[in-house]
Structure 1
Amino acid sequence: MNIRSLTRLHLRNATFFIASGALFTWAAAQNSLQKDCLPANQMKAAQLFGLWTARFDNPPAGLPAQATVRLQRHAEFSDSLAGVVSRDIGGAGSQAGSTGLAARAALAGDLDEGMLLLDESSDNVSITGTWNGEMVEGSCGRVFRGTWKDTSASAKPDAPDLVFTLTRQR
């Protein structure tokens, strides 16, 4: 073997070992990420505190397709959630403002066995909307998907449940 053949052999071996090491590191990182994620039924409400974006599939006129949700600790029940949903009602279509929904509404609820259950109140008295969602598998608690129901006084009796996706902003 001459020096040129040895150099090529060493380069091939080095390339193989570098690629193998990179693959092993990537696989270990993926396993670590999955291992660090709690199963949905072990998550606590405190892990949801923060800013979220809610997106609604096919919202009716009067309800914008996106809202901002801030979740925090409930003032009276430390294992529960409180918060606010903010919507741009003015830009929600021709019937904006005709729904029983406000641009800003209070939220209160729980995370129970991986189910996110929130009641919404536009007037701080009656429930004007309900949120029921589950953590998206593999999202590590950063994405929930479920249904939202308009329960305001102006809601149609046959108003459909709307699919929502709630995604953590930070």
Structure 2
Amino acid sequence: MRFRPALRIATLLIAASAHPSWAQAQNDSTKRAAGTAAPAVAPCPPAKQIKPEQMYGLWRVQFTKPPAGLPDKATMLLERHAEFSESVAGFVNRDLGAAAGSPAVAGHRAKAQLAGDIEEGLVTLDESSNGISITGTWTGELVANSCGRKVTGVWKDTSDSAPPDAPDIPFTLEKVPGW
């Protein structure tokens, strides 16, 4: 294939303008004019100012010493509540087979519904394994300086099979990056 001289020059100019080192100076954010300040990084809002929509996403759950039959890890998905826009809803997923050596706890399923609120840095969620009754409660606080990406608190088994003196089980929620 033969190129005409004008087409060769146009092709050469297009190729030259695409060379990354020639365009780097105008896009290099590390080079600033003398006397200019670095761009400001927005600090995390105080935990009390985190809104429900900032909590939407996928979370890792870590329990400390869960009761026999419940695993020490789970995942949680929080979304906008369908009826109450200032609330959250979602699901907690547990691999009940991961609680090795213990039969699954009656009253709990691998996937349970969640609904609750985030107000003034406090997180309260009700859990339901059957979609009717509350089988667990989550009460936690947003961790200061975590930008709404970490919560610590306690989970309580409130299912019909829970003993009357069911202990509070400490948990930590950490938001999965990318959400």
Shorter-chain TM-score: what band? 0.7 to 0.9
Aligned residue number for residue 9 of structure 1: none
Alpha-carbon distance in structure 1 between the residues aligned to 2:154 and 2:94: 17
Report the AA paired with residue 152 of structure 2: R
Q: 1 or 2, which has the higher helix percentage?
A: 1
Aligned residue number for residue 131 of structure 2: 124
Is 2:172 the partner of 1:161?
no
Correspondence for 2:157 among 150, 154, 161: 150
What is the deviation of 1:98? 3.3
Q: So what's the TM-score if we normalise by structure 2?
A: 0.74
What is the deviation of 1:89? 0.6
SS state at 2:53 partner = helix
What is the deviation of 1:99? 2.9
Aligned residue number for residue 73 of structure 1: 80
What is the deviation of 1:148? 0.3
Aligned residue number for residue 139 of structure 1: 146
Cα-Cα RMSD: 1.5
Aligned residue number for residue 51 of structure 2: 44
**Where do 5+ consecutive residues of structure 2 fail to align?**
1-37
What is the deviation of 1:114? 0.7
What is the deviation of 1:92? 0.9
Deviations 1:57-100 (A, max 9, x none): 01121110000000000000011000000000122133332331
Equivalent residue runs for 1:2-151 within 5 Å: 32=41, 35-151=42-158
Which has the larger Rg?
Answer: 2
Alpha-carbon distance in structure 1 between the residues aligned to 2:43 and 2:126: 30
125-134 or 93-102, which deviates more: 93-102
Q: So what's the TM-score if we normalise by structure 1?
A: 0.78
Deviations 1:129-169 (A, max 9, x none): 00000011121111000000000000011111000000000
Percent identical among aligned pairs is 55
SS state at 1:47 partner = helix
Report the AA paired with residue 110 of structure 1: D
Report the AA paired with residue 117 of structure 2: D
122-131 or 91-100, which deviates more: 91-100
Structure 1 consecutive aligned stretches of length 4 or more whose deviation exceeds 6 Å: none
Report the AA paired with residue 140 of structure 1: C
Equivalent pairs counted in the alignment come to: 140
